């Protein structure tokens, strides 16, 4: 039987340009070492790491897919939409993301105030010390500071006790609309992917409404195999992809070594009957 090398696509990963721990070039190098054949750099609300990642990918001999992960407010919850195969210079995408980054600065001050009220001092400066890109300061940087300050033992427990929705350090925030996020991605020539759907705390009925709204906004694909999903969740979202005619994506959501994130390129393959989203990308 001929051996066919199956491609190892990892279409969701972060660098120091958002809340990852590795610079774009180091991230690409690590992906190549782990056998990834095509990596998407999908920093939160920011595309400025793509040029360096692309140069490193040429050196490493792997494909680099230009991506972004856009934060979206959908009703009461926050959802994430990954854009793949985008032109990082597209004007509407750039302008949209720039507006989002400006609002992160004021949110950071409000997070620090809420932590101050429960006796945690110095978190604004602390978070900025951990932010590789000050425009992208976010909850992960606060979490790393809180671990450093000894408030919690690890990043996951900081979220559980302080930073998750409803906890004392959480502040509500208005992100992009689903329509805007998908429109920016499409205007940049990209494919919109609903990220890690199992993370959203919604009923089955609401999930169906979300997927329908996402499709109506121009969304084309959904993450089925994700570093955030267990096998049962992957199977459940494979069914969602089939039921709604969505292409399927596979991505680790790697943020760096340690902190409990999935490793690059180590996920299960996509179920073979689904259309892989990379067939819609010029890889
Ligand atoms: P932000 O966009 O600033 O609200 O931060 C969102 C980021 O926080 C996500 O992309 C994850 O990297 C991280 N995050 C959210 N929830 C958790 C959690 N329960 N455990 C660890 N990291 C989390
Ligand atoms: Mn993140
Ligand atoms: Mn996400
Ligand atoms: Mn992510």
Encode pLDDT of 74-129 as tens digits: 999 999 999 999 999 999 999 999 999 999 999 999 999 999 999 999 999 999 99
| For the CA of 45, the nearest atom of ligand 1 | 2
For residue 13, what is the DSSP state? B
SS3 at position 221: strand
Give the ligand with the smallest distance to the CA of 253.
4
Orientation of helix 24-33 relative to helix 50-60, angle to 10°: 30
- Which residue's CA is minimally distant from atom 22 of ligand 1? 156
**How many A from CA of 226 to the centre of ligand 4?**
10
- Which residue's CA is minimally distant from atom 12 of ligand 1? 140
Give the ligand with the smallest distance to the CA of 254.
4
CA angle 94, 228, 208 (to 5 degrees): 80
**How many A from CA of 238 to the centre of ligand 3?**
19
pLDDT at 219: 98
Matching residue, tokens 């969602």: 240
Matching residue, tokens 């595309």: 47
- Which residue's CA is minimally distant from atom 6 of ligand 1? 139
For residue 62, give the nearest of 41, 86, 32 by alpha carbon. Answer: 32
- Our mutation pick for probing the ligand 1 site, out of 14, 72, 138, 175, counting the most ligand atoms within 8 A of Cβ, is 138
Identify residues whose C-beta is under 5 A from ligand 2, the ion. Answer: 19
Q: Contact 248/276 with Cβ under 8 angstroms?
A: yes
**How many A from CA of 183 to the centre of ligand 2?**
22
Domains defined along the chain, listed by start: 9-90+179-280 (3.20.20.140), 99-163 (1.10.150.650)
For residue 106, what is the DSSP state? H
Give the pocket of ligand 1 (CB within 6 Å).
19, 44, 71, 138-140, 155-156, 159, 164, 255
pLDDT at 1: 46
- Which residue's CA is minimally distant from atom 14 of ligand 1? 140
- Which residue's CA is minimally distant from atom 8 of ligand 1? 140
pLDDT at 260: 87
Identify residues whose C-beta is under 5 A from ligand 4, the ion. Answer: 69, 253
Q: Contact 213/180 with Cβ under 8 angstroms?
A: no
Enter the pTM of the model: 0.97
**How many A from CA of 156 to the centre of ligand 4?**
15
- Which residue's CA is minimally distant from atom 19 of ligand 1? 159
Q: Contact 265/28 with Cβ under 8 angstroms?
A: no
Q: Contact 276/267 with Cβ under 8 angstroms?
A: no
**How many A from CA of 6 to the centre of ligand 1?**
31
Tally of CA atoms within 13 A in the half-sphere of 70 that contains its CB: 35
Distance CA 244, CA 222 (A): 10
**How many A from CA of 218 to the centre of ligand 2?**
24
Residues of the chain with pLDDT under 70: 1-5
């Amino acid at each position: 039987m001929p051996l066919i090398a199956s491609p190892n696509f990892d279409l969701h990963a972060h660098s120091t340009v958002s809340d990852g721990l590795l610079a774009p070039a180091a991230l690409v190098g690590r992906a190549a070492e782990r056998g990834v054949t095509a990596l998407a750099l999908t920093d939160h609300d920011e595309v400025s790491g793509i040029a360096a990642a692309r140069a490193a990918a040429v050196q490493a001999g792997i494909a680099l897919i230009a991506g972004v992960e856009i934060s979206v407010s959908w009703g009461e919850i926050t959802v994430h939409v990954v854009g793949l195969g985008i032109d990082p210079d597209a004007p509407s995408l750039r302008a949209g993301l720039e507006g989002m980054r400006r609002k992160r600065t004021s949110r950071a001050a409000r997070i620090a105030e809420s932590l101050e009220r429960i006796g945690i001092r110095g978190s604004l400066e602390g978070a900025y010390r951990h932010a590789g890109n000050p425009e992208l300061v976010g909850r992960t940087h606060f979490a790393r500071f809180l671990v450093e300050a000894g408030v919690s033992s690890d990043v996951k427990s900081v979220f559980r006790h302080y930073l998750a929705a409803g906890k004392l350090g959480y502040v509500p925030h208005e992100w992009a609309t689903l329509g805007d996020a998908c429109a920016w991605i499409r205007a940049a020539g990209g494919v919109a992917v609903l990220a890690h759907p199992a993370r959203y705390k919604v009923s089955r009925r609401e999930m169906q409404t979300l997927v329908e709204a996402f499709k109506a906004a121009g969304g084309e694909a959904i993450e089925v195999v994700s570093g955030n999903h267990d096998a049962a969740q992957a199977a459940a979202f494979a069914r969602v992809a089939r039921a709604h005619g969505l292409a399927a994506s596979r991505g680790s959501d790697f943020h760096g070594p340690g902190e409990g994130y999935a490793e690059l390129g180590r996920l299960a393959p996509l179920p073979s009957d689904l259309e892989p989203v990379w067939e819609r990308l010029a890889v």
